Chain A
């Protein structure tokens, strides 16, 4: 008899030699089947596959089901669960303190479009290099099922209440007011969401990703426009999104006419394979029009709606030094005695 020698399959490691574990987080406390959990999975994958060191990342959120989720990914990254609707300001402050932070924020539709609309809009204007994910289910989960400001007109709550108010389209807002990477996806579309997240990580500027993420408990019924079945029926991908990171050397034969390629700052490439329509994600006006027209047809356009590579970021506009402000040595932040003497002399 021979004893079989157990050989463990080699651990899958990423380009910096880490396995998936440091990219995982705590156990989720969200409902089973919640779209948010799928998004956390994609975030874990994206950071793992991109080979981002977890310690470089900081996670931010506001309040709500969505905002609990940063505890469920990247356990070796700092996290900050702020107050309702005000995550953008906290993230802005943190990134100003240390511009080397890879910042990712997770918000919800209530946290972004209702209580947080003001801060969201001003974040857009500043083009902070930051990934802003909206886990969008059109409903308040933690307070048990009230409409948010992204709920569609005519959408029905479980209780039978129908929404009469027009929704904010966060992608349309983002496009118009300054975000330089705007995408929409669906928590159930693994491949598309994963590619979009990786492209967002490579982007230098504000990336807004609105992910339709059905709430299985309060908004997954007949009459809801954010249910799994409704979204699957109305999902209209603009294109097939592929992301080729800078460290991956792939040469593929492509038919020039069928693919739109965007070369990112870090050498990576977004490859958008056409699906029936000719869509240029660098055309801001075209993107706004496409969103508007899709809305009239009750279609949910998904994919990378807009990318602008040359807009100045907040750091550029402020003209800050490259080093983190937070840890500059005293000699660089406290002017010498001569400076105080000079000022005092002027005041005499």
Chain B
């Protein structure tokens, strides 16, 4: 029996080439087959060996049966964006195996289930056949568990072929299963070992990819963006949470609920300092959030594009009636049955102006796990200070994928609750005008229900009110209020997180991105410099409204590429709404909208094309 078929076209040229800690592994499996555990263990083991790593799960809208792909990228240089090219494929899914293999670049490696006979498809790849069914039977006597345990075998195979240390596989596995599932962990460990032993006896390494221990992940954590955002909400002191399940935001609320139960339940009485309500729909969840914000709670919801659409009317009321609330938008492709499990920066434009009338909403754009955490806290601070709904715009890539991160810093600032007048304040002041711009920042003072003072109460309604919250349909009252709201938005512009800017001397080209486009954009800048000698300056937006630094940045460059993960260049469109013509004239668009996380090569190729090189 041939142990390995190796016939890469450039095998001569490649002899002795070693590619260390710089490649991507893709595992193609069937959804619901338990591959998530095997993939997480593989990723963790590499992480534990000190190598920067990222994992991206591309999964279908399905519970079980449809194809799913998990990509692990190891990068000694710390690139954690998606890598377009797959270097090492584990083909476990008969449905997709043929196409998966045909898409590989020459020289890639393929571990596959032997009966699939994938080696017949191409002669320029490194093939490693493995009889998974034969291997799983002895390590897993219980037939019904074999489908799940089978996947752990490839962890052992890949560990052998890439040089991942088995003790690290075991450590990752134990962490994954936890102490309570020790039996399952041992079963899986047996499978991983069987894979390793098989590979050691039957496979001859011919591909150039190797993992070697580094020291670049010490002290770091692995977390997904939904859990990171949930932790931000927890430490922001959220008290009222209303939500409606929707992919990819549900796991955020589930993580939050679990943290709240753990850290915000009184140990003696069992009573909670929070309320989480699963509402009947997104209209109700935003209604509850704004009602709670009005009554003084730190309130939030999490949703995605279709939910955002349903929140439109209430969001407008929130803007006009000036109600605090935090809405996390874990963006995805949509609507309806439209790729709900794929990522997109799809709601930038619609969220900025959500609702009817002249509405503008602030948005924050976290790009990392730490920013998911810190910006969640900032979102509450801004919402309460500016008395307006604040949208925290993450996406499926950030929210549902596992990311390596530095640990989160404990909030340095105390919680500030904004301009709220107490009964004592009112006794001193004699009264107040709810919508009067006392401080010049466009933000009025408010009172909360149940404030024991005869002058505390006011009536909250949409746009038809004067400074004293009295009902009015007068032209001048309406316009005065609208002008103050516009002024308030300008105050916000100066208070939202400023962009990250990296100027390069003499650079003619600037690149602007936001959110999860960060990693591919940063990597693309290195590619442009190394491969094309194009030096670029860089600006990463952290918030809308855009800070004045954005205008300065555009002015200082001849051509500015705006990166968007949507078809219609929504970030650029927002700039067009407000920037002067001479700045808009410099803007160019780089867009990716295929539902996967954007990758560096796509950006590089497009910039090079537009640069005419």
Contact flags (1/0) for A73-103 with B, using CB distance below 8 Å?
0011111111100101111111111101100
Instruction: List residues of chain B with CB within 8 A of the CB of A320.
Output: 271-275
CB nearest neighbor in B for A63:
B462
CA distance A320 to B277 in the complex (A): 12
Q: Are A90 and B291 in contact (CB under 8 A)?
A: yes
Number of interface residues of B (CB under 8 A): 72
A252 proximal to B (CB < 8 A): no
Q: Are A332 and B273 in contact (CB under 8 A)?
A: yes
Q: Are B240 and A97 in contact (CB under 8 A)?
A: yes
CB nearest neighbor in A for B275:
A96
CB nearest neighbor in B for A328:
B273
Interface residues of B in 503-529 (CB under 8 A from A): none
CA distance A82 to B275 in the complex (A): 21
A119 proximal to B (CB < 8 A): yes
Contact flags (1/0) for A320-345 with B, using CB distance below 8 Å?
11101111101011110101100110
Q: A88, A119, A334, A343: which contacts B415 (Cβ < 8 A)? A: A334
Q: A55, A88, A334: which contacts B451 (Cβ < 8 A)? A: A55
| Contact flag A98-B275 (CB < 8 Å), given A83-B317, A118-B280 | no
Q: A55, A333, A337, A347: which contacts B221 (Cβ < 8 A)? A: A347
CA distance A53 to B222 in the complex (A): 53
CA distance A70 to B270 in the complex (A): 37
Q: Are B275 and A83 in contact (CB under 8 A)?
A: no
Q: Are B235 and A340 in contact (CB under 8 A)?
A: yes
Q: Are A340 and B295 in contact (CB under 8 A)?
A: no
| Contact flag A58-B284 (CB < 8 Å), given A93-B292, A326-B295 | no
CA distance A289 to B264 in the complex (A): 45
Q: B231, B237, B277: which contacts A330 (Cβ < 8 A)? A: B237
B58 proximal to A (CB < 8 A): no
Smallest CB separation, B418 vs chain A (Å)? 12
CA distance A54 to B452 in the complex (A): 9
| Contact flag A339-B263 (CB < 8 Å), given A96-B297, A326-B295, A334-B235 | yes
CA distance A321 to B276 in the complex (A): 13
Q: A75, A80, A118, A330: which contacts B291 (Cβ < 8 A)? A: A80
Interface residues of B in 238-283 (CB under 8 A from A): 238-240, 242, 259, 263-264, 266, 269-277, 279-281, 283
Instruction: List residues of chain B with CB within 8 A of the CB of A118.
Output: 280-281, 284
| Contact flag A78-B460 (CB < 8 Å), given A58-B449, A94-B291 | yes
A298 proximal to B (CB < 8 A): no
CA distance A104 to B448 in the complex (A): 16
B287 proximal to A (CB < 8 A): yes
| Contact flag A97-B295 (CB < 8 Å), given A22-B454, A90-B290 | yes
Q: Are A89 and B415 in contact (CB under 8 A)?
A: no
Q: Are A348 and B220 in contact (CB under 8 A)?
A: yes
Smallest CB separation, B412 vs chain A (Å)? 11
CB nearest neighbor in A for B452:
A55
Q: Are B457 and A77 in contact (CB under 8 A)?
A: yes
Q: A54, A58, A327, A335: which contacts B235 (Cβ < 8 A)? A: A335
CB nearest neighbor in B for A77:
B457
Instruction: List residues of chain A with CB within 8 A of the CB of B462.
Output: 81
Of B120-128, B403-411, B554-562, the stretch lying at the interface with chain A is B403-411
Instruction: List residues of chain A with CB within 8 A of the CB of B546.
Output: none
- Name A's B-contacting residues (CB within 8 A): 22, 26, 53-56, 58, 60, 70-71, 75-83, 86, 88-98, 100-101, 118-119, 121-122, 126, 314, 318-322, 324-328, 330, 332-335, 337, 339-340, 343-344, 347-348
Question: 3 tightest CB-CB pairs across the interface, nearest first?
Answer: A89-B287, A93-B291, A326-B296
- Name B's A-contacting residues (CB within 8 A): 219-223, 231, 234-240, 242, 259, 263-264, 266, 269-277, 279-281, 283-299, 313-314, 317, 407-408, 410-411, 414-415, 447-454, 456-462, 471
